[in-house]
Structure 1
Amino acid sequence: MSRSGRDAGKRVKTARGRTASSTRWLERQLNDPYVKQAKAEGYRSRAAYKLIELDEKFGLLKNASRVVDLGIAPGGWSQVVRKVRPKAAVVGIDLLETEPIEGVTIFQMDFMADEAPAALEETLDGPPNLVMSDMAANTVGHKQTDHLRTMGLVETAAHFAIETLEEGGTFLAKVLAGGTDSELLALLKKHFRTVKHAKPPASRKGSSEWYVVAQGFKGR
């Protein structure tokens, strides 16, 4: 405890073989209130609160009945959907293995694979009214390259949403600092009534992530 009587935060001893960056990450995890809350409430990751906060602001889940979760692992977003809309049909996809979630169909495959979109569509009994993406490309350490790779995923997700969403539907996707690039922004504004950017409180201040929220799909 600090002199003020408040917990000054846990410090992690630097273990042999552990890098300084991994030590800092572990300290953040141990002292992160969202991580603690996620454990207490049974969510698999702190990312669940990003969706909860975005939903509070934009009403994303209000009418969600058929949902596609792109980059589902470890499953926090789908857990939130199932809690808020227990009757919603949910399908998710990720390269990483994801532990089963009741009421959610999960594909372990590359969303960029030719057969992925059809697999997702065929699982739902009708067009989705919410397509959400928390995908980010694996980083290579080169800022510009990492940005381009992640935005490539966002663009593919946007085209999938435009091809599959029912009228009035919503598209939510993680983007990086600077937001959606001009071409993609123009595409979204063409097909959705409102397009906004937001950074939920659960997103770490030092993180470069933002979210684009496109609502009121106009149709193809």
Structure 2
Amino acid sequence: MILSEIRFHSPQNLAEAFKLLEELKEARIAAGGTDLFVDMKQGLIEARDIISLQKIEELKGIGKKDKRIRIGAMVTAQEIISSSLINQHIPALADAARSMASYQIRSMATIGGNISSAVPSADLPPALIVADATVELKCSGSSREVSLSKFFTGPRETICQTGELLTFIFVPFLPPNTGISYQKFALREANALAVASVASRLTLKDGKID
């Protein structure tokens, strides 16, 4: 990878990002860049143009909307760990984020990038899927919301179409007496990539698993 051959674009908002996507059909999207730049260095993908989402403030932040948690695609793994809202309503997501790499990587890696990369070893999708999370996919003229369970079509493959960006993740509040757990197996304990991971969900009714 020769950096001098790559053009780096930094849109200030979504409108500018969509305009760039229309002009640069082969451009790659960089969220935190922790997966993209490694893949480029290893020669797995090539890119002449990179569109960074780092300066788009509307894709940052965690809040409540319509009885759901709304997470911006540019929220980092470390911000998920630190979020009182996440820890209160879906602590398994914070556990999954905590298992990701080092503190330095967690401070760069974003939830949107972790999902969009569609890498099988990604930590966040399992906990989100069992929580019935949905994602908003947006382009310059429209948007759609799809279940995360239907977002992936294979390793490194998703239903995201050319010109679309994953903008938000929505997680409904869990019903009473319902919990989610995330566990992973790695060859090294120190926040290594998952060899296998699992997320589970159960609800208790009258003291019994429903």
Question: What TM-score does the superposition give when structure 2 sets the normalisation length?
Answer: 0.25
Q: Which has the higher contact order (CA 8 A, sep 6+)?
A: 2
Give the greater-gyration-radius structure (CA): 1
Question: What TM-score does the superposition give when structure 1 sets the normalisation length?
Answer: 0.24
Structure with greater helix share of residues = 1
